[in-house]
């Protein structure tokens, strides 16, 4: 019985050390805007395709993004909530995470609406939220995200 308890304690301790290492590896992932593209302009909505680059610099560990919940801003105005789900980023790889967003035209300022519809001008994008990665034993590890990009929406 003591041997079983010792073995169980050793496995738990090993899993705990592995958990700390896994959390540290996920924290090293980097994020950037790749592009924000206008897909459709309607009377009531503008449809955007937002692409984020998620880079996993870890040599052996796959980063498993369970979900992302955040807010997309353009020129200091909130334009939409943005979500991502179930993405795996292999070790030493960059994954282009894509999210389609429909933005009600009523929520956009006339200046921003003009910039988006004409496809010109400089638009500063900002994304703020929380990435939830899969940790050991199914536990979600929250990591705050705050990234911005200055420039044209079609780059």
Domains of the chain, each with CATH number or no CATH: 2-151 (2.60.40.1820)
Identify the DSSP state of 76: T
Residue pLDDT, tens place only, 109-150: 766 666 666 665 677 888 999 989 887 777 888 989 898 876
pLDDT digits (tens, 9 = 90+) for 86-113: 999 999 999 999 999 998 888 777 666 6
The span from the first CA to the last CA of the chain, in angstroms, equals: 64
Task: Quote the pTM value.
Answer: 0.72
């Amino acid at each position: 019985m003591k041997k079983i308890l010792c073995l169980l304690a050793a496995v738990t301790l090993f899993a705990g050390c592995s958990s700390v290492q896994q959390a540290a590896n996920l924290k090293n992932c980097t994020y950037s805007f790749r592009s924000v593209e206008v897909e459709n302009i309607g009377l009531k909505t503008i449809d955007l395709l937002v692409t984020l680059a998620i880079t996993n610099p870890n040599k052996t560990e796959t980063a498993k993004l369970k979900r992302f919940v955040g807010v997309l801003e353009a020129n200091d105005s909130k334009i939409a909530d943005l979500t991502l789900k179930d993405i795996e980023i292999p070790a030493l790889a960059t994954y282009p995470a894509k999210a389609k967003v429909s933005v009600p035209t009523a929520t956009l300022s006339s200046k921003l609406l003009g910039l988006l519809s004409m496809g010109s001008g400089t638009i500063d994008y900002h994304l703020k939220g929380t990435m939830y990665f899969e940790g050991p034993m199914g536990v979600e590890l929250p990591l705050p995200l705050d990234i911005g990009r200055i420039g044209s929406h079609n780059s």
